[in-house]
A and B are shown apart, each in its own frame.
Chain A
Amino acid sequence: MHASSIRGALAQVFQIPLRPTLRNAAGQISTGITTTTTSSFSTSASRAAKKGRGAKPDQRITLIRYFLYHPTTLTPRPLRFSRNRYLRHWTIHRAWNLYRAKVKQARQLELERQYNAMHAANEELRVGAGDGGKLFRKAQMKTGVWSIPERGGGVPIEYARGLVEWMGSTGGLGSSGTGLGAKAKIWDSEWTRS
């Protein structure tokens, strides 16, 4: 209480916007809604509750409001760099852009190489296989590619599961069992529909 009054006085003197502290934010909002003035030695709080003047709001919502509208969540002022630091930033930025362009180009070229290889293989299959193109026709069939596994096509779910197989399956909360790790288990293979 004392510290906050000092803060308030200083804020008036120095024209500083007074940031709500955690304590007085919770106090303000709760007192703003239920206006019961209780001195510390009084027992009128319980009487006020008996009268049913209004339920106290959930403290968690108060806290969420406090953090949601805290001044630090506002847009910060623009970063101002000195000359050298700005040039450093600019150099790094250009280098990063160059690197990303190169990576993108490499990916594109790799895909193009694969596509051309597929094209050549299919052409060979069509003309040079010597079976009248039967194998080629088989290879070109797209039955069920755009379907779903339930209908006997599409991509099986294991395709994507395999990509995370080596990730900690307990979410980093220890080994599986009955503790926290078991609760955080991502894929429960033993689970059956009960």
Chain B
Amino acid sequence: MAESHLSLRLARTWRSFVKPSICNRCLQTRRTLASQASAPQGQRDAELEEASSLGGAPDAGSGSPVRDFDPLKVPRSRKRQLVPSRYQFRSPKYYRGPLHPHQPPPPSDPASREFVPGPFSTPRLEQTYHNIIAPDFMTMCYQHTPPGFRAPQKGARLRPWIGDSPYFRNRPLRGPRGGDVLRLLRKPITFRNIPMIERVTVHSFVKGALSGGSGYIHVAGMALQAITNHRVMTHEARTNEANWGIIKGKTVSMTVDLKGEDMYHFLGKLINVVLPRIKDWNGVRATTGDNSGNLTFGLDPESVATFPEIETNYDAYPGKMIPGLHITIHTTATCDKDARLLLQQVGIPFYGKVVD
């Protein structure tokens, strides 16, 4: 047995020595130009065209357009020089209005100063929203109306002034009932107006900067930049406030506005990594909100330090200077209860009294 194996292997190696690159089977199926020309016509596929379209007319001699084409003729015959390839144009730095002759390029143009490349990823939260959360939200809030149903008409929200007084003529309409605020209308949820998260504002009031110097501002800015992947915008105090030690004109806080891809990444980190690791945390207070679907909650410095970007590089930050955050989630919902329902679906827990 062993001998036969050996001989077989020997034969294989011998064959590979003799025909180093071409195996037997390849040799049988290989078609050269000569073999193709002499091959019988019956084996060809009837639908295959014999002539290649790239070759041009076979019987045309020197007069065929392919032979006559001279690639250098056109540029030589050109009177003027072409515009240089690299376009010598400086886009204006500032937008000076629609009537100005010097207009900046659109932001999608890479030469624009507002051009932002990307998006580079599809965040999981975004996919989840479109595949799961939005249909579920629509189903939960579905209100059936029979065909032909017409909602009863309500009166105008801003009433006119009615009376005998001559001052009522051409007077602006009366303010809304019960207060000064004309609240947003809530329309029934259909497939067209399912609320979604629009943008997230991360705000940090740096109290230490009032007395401790600019180090607090810099550390907080760096922490926010690391968390949100955006440059922060700093804000100065507008008034003096003796009780809080605020001096007018001094930098006291910073914000970051997040949209799109960065927003979803930030929310994903917040919801899946940071919030579950806060000990003794009940959730967000259910009464939060500004009555138009924008909810705010805060994080203390210890929780901010558990963001993965800071936690992995914690030693680079002075521990006592890591800021706390206020996070405002702006949704397209027009009332707080819809926004709260959306954020519950996204994974933010709520606690306490519910006021709507």
Tell me if B191 and A61 are in contact (CB < 8 A).
no
Tell me if B191 and A112 are in contact (CB < 8 A).
yes
Within 8 A of B (CB), among A136-194: 136, 140, 142, 145-151, 154-155, 157, 159-161, 163-164, 167, 171, 184, 186-188, 191, 193
Give Cα A138 to B135, complex, Å. 21
A60 within 8 A of B: yes
Give Cα A82 to B42, complex, Å. 53
B299 within 8 A of A: no
Question: Given A123-B146, A155-B341, are A61 and B215 neighbors across the interface (CB < 8 Å)?
Answer: yes
Q: Which of B138, B140, B272 contacts A164 (CB 8 A)?
A: B272
Taken residue by residue from 113 to 155, chain A's Cβ proximity to chain B (1 for < 8 Å, 0 otherwise) reads as 0110011001100100000000010001010011111110011
Tell me if A114 and B110 are in contact (CB < 8 A).
no
Tell me the smallest distance from the CB of B281 to a CB of chain A, in Å.
11
User: Which residues of the partner chain B approach A147 to less than 8 Å between Cβ atoms?
Assistant: 354
Give Cα A188 to B279, complex, Å. 10
- Interface size, A (range): 35 or more
B147 within 8 A of A: yes
User: Which residues of the partner chain B approach A145 to less than 8 Å between Cβ atoms?
Assistant: 140-141, 341
Name B145's closest neighbour in chain A (CB-CB). A119
Within 8 A of B (CB), among A82-96: 82-84, 86, 89, 93
Q: How many residues of B contact A (CB 8 A)?
A: 65
Q: Tell me the dominant secondary structure on chain A's binding face.
A: helix
User: Which residues of the partner chain A approach B132 to less than 8 Å between Cβ atoms?
Assistant: 163
Most buried by B among A78, A159, A193: A78
A79 within 8 A of B: yes
Within 8 A of B (CB), among A38-88: 57-58, 60-61, 63-65, 67-68, 73, 75, 78-84, 86
User: Which residues of the partner chain A approach B115 to less than 8 Å between Cβ atoms?
Assistant: 78-79
Tell me if A80 and B144 are in contact (CB < 8 A).
no
Tell me if B134 and A111 are in contact (CB < 8 A).
yes
Give Cα A147 to B311, complex, Å. 35
Give Cα A126 to B110, complex, Å. 57
A positions within 8 Å CB-CB of B: 57-58, 60-61, 63-65, 67-68, 73, 75, 78-84, 86, 89, 93, 107-108, 110-112, 114-115, 118-119, 122-123, 126, 136, 140, 142, 145-151, 154-155, 157, 159-161, 163-164, 167, 171, 184, 186-188, 191, 193
List 5 tightest A-B contacts by C-beta distance, closest first: A160-B347, A111-B191, A155-B344, A79-B110, A146-B337
Given contacts A114-B135, A145-B341, 18 further A-B contacts (CB under 8 A): A61-B218, A67-B222, A68-B218, A78-B110, A80-B111, A86-B87, A114-B191, A115-B190, A118-B139, A123-B144, A146-B354, A148-B354, A149-B344, A151-B354, A160-B344, A164-B272, A171-B308, A187-B276
